[in-house]
């Protein structure tokens, strides 16, 4: 158990050293260093799983101390994993910003000389159609009203004749 603990602790320190190299690495080799660090972190996690099993087999008087040491290693390893993910996120964001900046710099902008046009033809045509439909409905209601008035007048005429 102690040998595995020391080996895992040594691996954690090596990963911390590699994290320092990661910040100084060239853009071409960053992926290789990241992959190497991730592989070492995975190896540390597998060692921690074995340490957890071995810790549960320790005698009761040494078990609590062994568990504390193992928990500290877990915390350190999780901290390294988080630091790697943060670095990857920052690198991705920086690369994306550089791509967008290059895209903007490579784009050619021109002035809006005679090509400027405002597309109001469709809106104007739609408005004209709505106004015409409104007038048509007014005419329809007016003729309906005239018809009803004519029918009332006829009814009154028929009532007067029948009486």
Tens of pLDDT along the chain (163 residues)? 889 889 999 999 999 988 888 888 887 888 888 999 999 999 999 999 999 988 888 888 888 888 899 899 999 999 999 999 999 999 899 999 999 999 988 888 777 666 666 667 788 888 999 999 999 999 999 999 999 999 999 999 988 888 7
How far lies 89's CA from each of 32, 36, 49, 92, 100, in Å? 16, 17, 27, 5, 16
Which residues, at least 6 apart from 45, have a Cβ–Cβ distance to it below 8 Å?
77
Q: What is the pLDDT of residues 26-45, one digit of tens each?
A: 878 888 889 999 999 999 99
Which residue in the block uniquely carries the two structure tokens 């900046």? Answer: 101
Other residues' Cβ atoms within 10 Å of the Cβ of residue 120:
9
Q: In the prediction, which pLDDT does 118 show?
A: 66
Q: In the prediction, which pLDDT does 117 show?
A: 62
In angstroms, the CA 1 to CA 143 distance is 102
Other residues' Cβ atoms within 10 Å of the Cβ of residue 38:
16
pTM for the model stands at 0.60
């Amino acid at each position: 158990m102690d040998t595995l603990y020391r080996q895992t602790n040594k691996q954690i320190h090596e990963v911390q050293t590699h994290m320092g190299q990661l910040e100084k690495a060239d853009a071409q080799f960053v992926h290789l260093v990241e992959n190497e660090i991730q592989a070492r972190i995975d190896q540390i996690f597998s060692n921690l799983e074995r340490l957890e099993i071995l810790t549960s087999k320790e005698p009761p008087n040494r078990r609590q101390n062994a568990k504390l040491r193992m928990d500290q290693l877990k915390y350190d390893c999780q901290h390294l994993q988080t630091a790697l993910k943060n670095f990857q996120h920052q690198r991705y964001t920086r690369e994306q910003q550089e791509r967008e900046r290059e895209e903007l710099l490579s784009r050619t902008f021109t002035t809006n000389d005679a090509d400027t046009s405002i597309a109001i033809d469709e809106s104007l045509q739609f408005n004209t159609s709505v106004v015409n439909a409104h007038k048509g409905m007014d005419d329809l209601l007016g003729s309906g009203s005239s018809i009803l008035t004519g029918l009332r007048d006829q009814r009154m005429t028929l009532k007067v004749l029948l009486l």
